[in-house]
Amino acid sequence: MTVTGHRQRATTRTALRSSRLSSLLGLTGVVIVGALVSAAVLAPWLAPYDPTERVARPFLSPSWDHLLGTNDIGQDLLSEMIFGARVSLTVGIVAAAVALLIGTAVGVVAGYYPRRLGSVMMRGVDMILVLPFLPLLIVLAAYLGRSLLNTILVIGVLIWAEPARVIRSQVLSLRSREHVLAARSMGAPDRWTILRHIVPRTALLATGSFVRAVSNAILLEAALSFLGLGDPIQKSWGSTLFWAQERLAFLTPAWKWWVLPPGLLIMMASLGFALVAFSLEERIDPRL
Amino acid sequence: MLANVNRRSLEAGKEHMAERPSSPAIALLLAVLLVAPAACGGEVAPGTSVRVRAAVTGDEGTLNPYTYVSGFPGWNLLMLQYDSLMQLDKSGVPRPWLASEVRVNADLTEYSVTLVEGVTWHDGRPLTTRDVAFSVDYYLNNAEASRFARDLMDVQDVVVTDDYNATFVLSDPSAGFEMSALADVPIIPRHIWESVESPSEHQFEGGTNIGTGPYRLIEYVEGRSYRFEANADYFMGAPAVDELVVIVFADDAGVQTAIRTGEIDVIFERIPPEQIDLLDAQDPLDIALGPEFTTQMINYDASKRPFDDVTVRRAINLAMDRQDIVDTVFLGAATVGSPGWIHPGHPSYNPDIVAIYDPVAANSLLEEAGYLDSDGDGVREFDGQPMSFEIITNSPDSLRLRIAELTAEMLAAIGIRTSVAAVETGTWEQAVWPGFDVNNGRNYDIAMWGWSAPVQADPLRLPQLVTSVPVGGFLNLTGYENAEMDALSGTLGTESDPAERNRILGRMQEIIAEDLPFVLLLYPDGAYVYDSSVYSDWEFIAGQGIVSKLSLLPPSARP
C-alpha cells in the first residue's frame, strides 16, 4: 500500500517536473519563434538599409554604420539577416504546409482503408523514408532549377512521409472508435465519415507534426541555398552563407560577421520551432 | 620590365581607380606594367640553388603533348619541357625562338623557318628540321586527343631544305599562323616518337618526355606532384630556378591555406579578386597582376525587337557603369571593357575607343526614339509592350551572377526592367548558343556571356564574332549583321601587310563600338601570388599569366 503510494507520488512528481520543463522549453520556443516572426514582419522598419541596395564598399568589417559589415558587393549584412528571416520562415512554413497537406491526405486514406490501399500507400511512405534524403533533395533541386517556388515544392514533397505515418496511426485508432463505427453502420458514406469524424480529430496531432516540419524545412532551405541550389539572388540566410563561401569568407576574419550570424539564426529558427513542437507533442500526444 | 607588383604600386593603381568614372582602365594597366618597379625583395645569394614549390589543383598526367590534361596550366607546364618555333613575348606577340628567323611570302601561304644552330634534346642529340617536319606529320597523323592537329590543319607540306631550313606550305592563306601554330605547337624528337605507334593508347612513362625545353621532368607521382630539374645546357641560357616542384592539391581552399603557411611558394592558378589584398598584406607574399583576354559581356538578340534597333543597344551601352562593376565585383582587379571588343593591353587595340557612362544621354536617346514610359510605372514600352526582360546567366560563375545583378540595376535606371535568372551552365549555353551552332538561332532576350582568352588573343578571329552568319560569323551569337563589317572581314584574312591588318582591325573596332553587336563590360585581370623571398622574377605574359618558361629563365634570356 505505502510502497505503491510512494511510487505513485514519485511518478506524479516526475510527470509534473517533466511537464513544467516541457512548458518552459515550449515557452522558450515561442519566444524565439515570436522574435523571428516579428523581425520578418517588421523587416522594412527594423532593417537599417534596403538589403538589395549597394550602400557601401564591399567586404567592410563591422562598424557603427554597418553592424555586421557589408557583403561582397557592398550590401548591408545586418539588413540581409533581417530580411532573410522572411524567406527562411516563408519557405519553412509553406513547405511544411505542403508536406502536411500531402501527409494528412496519405495518412487519412491509408489509415481509413488499412488493408490493400493502405498497405500499398505505406510501402510508398517507407520508400520515401529510406531514400537517402539530402542527395535526393540535391538531385531534385538541380533538376527543377532555381526558384523560391521550386525550393518550397522540393522540400515539401520530401518531408511529408513522417507526418503521414503519425497521422495514419491516429486514424487507425479513430476508425475503430464507437462513434465512427456507429456512423458507418448507419450507412454514412466514407467521405462524410472521414471529413466529419476523422480529419478534425487529427488536427491537433497535425499541428505538432507541422511545427516539426517547419523546423526541418528551414534547415533544408538553408542547406539548399548554401549549396547554390536555391535562388542565389533571394536574400535568405542560406544564400548569405552561399555567397560567403563563394567569396572565401571562411578563410578570412569575415567569418565572424558573415558566416556566424546566419548560421546562428538558422540554428535558432530551427530550434525554436523544434521546441514548440516538442512541447505541443507533450500535451497532445495521447501516448499511444 | 617585369609585371611584378609590390604593395605600394598596387595601392597606387587603386588610388587611380578611385577617381571613377573618369579614369580609364588603361591607367591601371599602365600602373601595373610600367610604373611598377621590378621585383622587390627576393635577393638570392649567387651560387645557392633556387627551388620553387608551386601549387596546381588538378593532375596533368605524364605531361607530354598527348597526355597533359588542361589548357591552363597543363599546356604551360608541358611547354617547360618543350619548345615551339616561336615564343610569345610579354605583350603576347610571337617572337622567334627555336627558329631564329621566320619569313612569310606575300600571299601568306608559305612560312619559312631557320632553326637556331646547336640546340640539343635533353638526351644530347641535335635538333634538326627533320624533327620539325616529323612533329607536324605526327600530330596530323595522330589527330585524336591532341589540339595541335587543329593548329596545323592548313599545313599541306613541310619542305625540308637542309638541317636548319624548312618551309611550311599552307593550303589557304593564314595571317594568324605564327600565333596559332608556330607559337603553340611543341616540337617533339623524331628518335623518340617514331616508335610510339598510337599515342592515344600508348602507356607513357617519364622517358618519353625528352624535349629541348629549359626543364626536364624527373619525377612524377600520380595525383601528387611533379619534379622538374633545370636543363643547364638550355640554348637560351641556364634557367634561374634550379628545381621546380609542382604539387597537386585537391581544392582551392587547400592551396589558399598552403600559400599562407609557406608550404608552397607560388600558385600556378589565378587567385580570386577578394584574395589579392589579403595575400598581398602578408609578408613575404606578393602579387603579379596583368591583363587577361577573357571577357564578361552582355549579349542580346540583335535580330529581334527591340534590340534590332541600334538606339536601344547604344542606350544600354551608355547605361553601363563599367568602372563601378570593376570596383564592386572585382575590387578593381579587372580592366574596363572597350566597346570595340579588343583589350587596351592588346597590340591591336584602337586607342580612340573608350567606354562612356552617361545614363542621362541614354535616357534621352530612348526618349527621342519614342520608347516612352506612357503608363508611368518606371518601365518604358516598345510596340505596346513593356521593356521587361530576363537576363540569363550561368549560376556556377558567381562573379558573373553579381555582374548580372549590377547590370539589372543599371538598366532599371534607363527604364528597362530585367530579372536575373541563374540557370545551369548547360541550359544557359543552349539558350544562347543552341547546339553550339549559330545557324540554330537564339532563345534569349538578354544574356550574360564571356569568351575564353583564345577568341580575343588572336585578333584575326574577330570576324568570327561579328560577321553575318553565312559569311563566317560562327561565333556571332547575337544575330548581328553589317555589310561593311562583312567586307572588312574578307580583306582582313588575306591582307599580308601587318600594318594594314591593324588598320582594318582598328576600323572594325570603331564599327563595333558604334553598332554594338554586344556590350563588352570588362576583362578580369590575372592575379598570381608568389613568395618573394624564394623567387620573384615572374614574367606576366599578356593574356597568358606567369606560368611559362619566361618566368623561370634569367631576365636577359627573355624576348
Mean pLDDT for each consecutive 10-residue tract of chain B (559 residues)?
Answer: 36 34 40 39 58 93 88 90 94 92 91 95 94 95 83 92 95 86 94 89 80 94 93 94 95 88 94 90 92 93 93 96 95 94 90 94 94 90 92 90 95 94 87 88 93 84 88 87 91 84 94 95 95 94 90 91
- Which positions in chain B touch A234 (Cβ < 8 Å)? none
**Nearest CA distance, A141 vs chain B (angstrom):** 11
Asked if A145's CB is within 8 angstroms of B328's CB, the reply is no
* Tens-place pLDDT, residues B74-96: 899 999 999 999 999 988 889 99
Residue B533 near chain A (CB below 8 Å): no
Phi first, then psi: give them for residue B288, nearest 5 degrees. Answer: -105, 125
Asked if A233's CB is within 8 angstroms of B420's CB, the reply is yes
pLDDT of residue A157: 86
Tell me which residue has cell 540535391: A138
Residue B69 near chain A (CB below 8 Å): no
Asked if B396's CB is within 8 angstroms of A59's CB, the reply is no
Task: Give contacts of B 352-411 with A, CB under 8 A.
Answer: 395-396, 398, 401-402, 405-406, 409
**Nearest CA distance, B395 vs chain A (angstrom):** 8
The secondary element (H helix, E strand) that includes residue A257 is helix A255-258
Residue A59 near chain B (CB below 8 Å): yes
The secondary element (H helix, E strand) that includes residue B365 is helix B359-368
Asked if A145's CB is within 8 angstroms of B423's CB, the reply is yes
Those residues with Cβ within 8 angstroms of residue B355's Cβ, 6 or more apart along the chain or in another chain: B24, B317, B320, B322, B336, B337, B338, B339
Candidates A15, A23, A286, A20; CA nearest to A7 is A15
CA–CA gap between residue A55 and residue A63 (Å, rounded):
13
Residue A227 near chain B (CB below 8 Å): no
Give the β-pairing of B526-531 and B381-382: unpaired
Of B278, B398, B405, the CB nearest to A252: B278
Radius of gyration of chain B measured on its C-alpha atoms: 25
Q: Where are the beta strands (DSSP E) in B403-541?
A: 417-423, 446-449, 519-524, 526-531
The secondary element (H helix, E strand) that includes residue B245 is strand B243-248
pLDDT of residue B2: 37
Asked if A248's CB is within 8 angstroms of B256's CB, the reply is yes
Neighbour-count burial of A235, counting CB atoms closer than 10 A to its CB (0-12 exposed, 13-18 middle, 19+ buried): buried
**Nearest CA distance, A145 vs chain B (angstrom):** 7
**Test the B interface: residue of A247, A250, A252 with most B CBs within 10 Å:** A247
Neighbour-count burial of A288, counting CB atoms closer than 10 A to its CB (0-12 exposed, 13-18 middle, 19+ buried): exposed
Candidates B185, B194, B210; CA nearest to B119 is B210
pLDDT of residue B426: 85
Taking the CA atoms of B250, B255, B261 and B266 in sequence, report the sign of the dihedral they define. positive
Asked if B406's CB is within 8 angstroms of A232's CB, the reply is no
pLDDT of residue B234: 95
**Nearest CA distance, B382 vs chain A (angstrom):** 28
- Which positions in chain B touch A72 (Cβ < 8 Å)? 274, 329, 402
Per-residue model confidence as pLDDT tens for chain A (288 residues): 445 555 555 556 666 567 778 888 889 999 999 999 999 999 999 999 999 999 999 999 999 999 999 999 999 999 999 999 999 999 999 999 999 999 999 999 998 888 888 889 999 899 888 888 788 888 888 788 778 888 898 899 888 988 899 899 889 888 888 888 888 888 888 888 888 888 888 888 888 889 989 999 999 999 888 888 888 888 899 999 999 988 888 888 888 999 999 999 999 999 999 999 888 887 776 554
- Which positions in chain A touch B323 (Cβ < 8 Å)? none
pLDDT of residue B339: 95
Residue A228 near chain B (CB below 8 Å): yes
pLDDT of residue B544: 85
- Which positions in chain B touch A232 (Cβ < 8 Å)? 395, 398, 401, 422
pLDDT of residue A12: 61
CB A158 within 8 A of CB A125: no
CA–CA gap between residue A123 and residue A199 (Å, rounded):
22
Size of interface A-B (CB pairs under 8 A): 52
CA–CA gap between residue B158 and residue B135 (Å, rounded):
10
Name the residue type at position A228. G
**Test the A interface: residue of B390, B395, B418 with most A CBs within 10 Å:** B395
CB B439 within 8 A of CB B468: no
| Three-state SS at B289 | strand
CB B344 within 8 A of CB B353: no
| Three-state SS at B72 | coil
CB A81 within 8 A of CB A237: yes
Distances (CA, A) of A212 to A217, A254, B132: 9, 33, 72
Q: What is the DSSP string of A46-105?
A: H-SS-TTS--S-TTPPP-SSSTT-B-TTS-BHHHHHHHHHHHHHHHHHHHHHHHHHHHHH
Q: Which residue of B has its CA nearest to A234?
A: B420
- Which positions in chain B touch A143 (Cβ < 8 Å)? none
CB B28 within 8 A of CB B322: no
Asked if B406's CB is within 8 angstroms of A73's CB, the reply is yes
Residue B329 near chain A (CB below 8 Å): yes
Asked if B331's CB is within 8 angstroms of A59's CB, the reply is yes
Residue B282 near chain A (CB below 8 Å): no
CA–CA gap between residue B51 and residue A68 (Å, rounded):
43
**Nearest CA distance, A96 vs chain B (angstrom):** 26
Q: Which residue of B has its CA nearest to A70?
A: B328
C-alpha dihedral over B80, B85, B88, B89, to 10 degrees? 100
Residue A54 near chain B (CB below 8 Å): yes
**Test the A interface: residue of B280, B328, B330 with most A CBs within 10 Å:** B328
Candidates A75, A244, A239; CA nearest to A148 is A239
H-assigned helices in B109-220? 129-141, 148-151, 177, 190-193
| Three-state SS at A45 | helix
The secondary element (H helix, E strand) that includes residue A268 is helix A260-284
The secondary element (H helix, E strand) that includes residue B382 is strand B381-382
Distances (CA, A) of B102 to B7, B165, B515: 40, 10, 38
Asked if A228's CB is within 8 angstroms of B395's CB, the reply is yes
**Nearest CA distance, B419 vs chain A (angstrom):** 10
- Which positions in chain B touch A59 (Cβ < 8 Å)? 274, 331
- Which positions in chain A touch B427 (Cβ < 8 Å)? 145
This prediction has a pTM of 0.81
Q: At what angle do helices A116-130 and A77-112 cross, to 10 degrees?
A: 150
CB B544 within 8 A of CB B3: no
Radius of gyration of chain A measured on its C-alpha atoms: 23
Q: Respond yes or no on whether the N-terminal peptide bond of residue B73 is cis (omega within 30° of 0).
A: yes
The secondary element (H helix, E strand) that includes residue A27 is helix A2-41
Of A72, A146, A248, the CB nearest to B395: A146
Give the β-pairing of B388-394 and B446-449: parallel
Tell me which residue has cell 569568351: B451
Residue B423 near chain A (CB below 8 Å): yes
CB A63 within 8 A of CB A76: no
- Which positions in chain A touch B424 (Cβ < 8 Å)? 142, 145
Q: What is the DSSP string of B385-397?
A: EE-EEEEEEETT-
How many CB atoms lie under 10 A from the CB of residue B552?
Answer: 25
Q: Respond yes or no on whether the N-terminal peptide bond of residue B524 is cis (omega within 30° of 0).
A: no
Q: What is the DSSP string of A188-253?
A: --HHHHIIIIIHHHHHHHHHHHHHHHHHHHHHHHHHHHHTT-S-TTS--HHHHHHHHHHTTGGGST
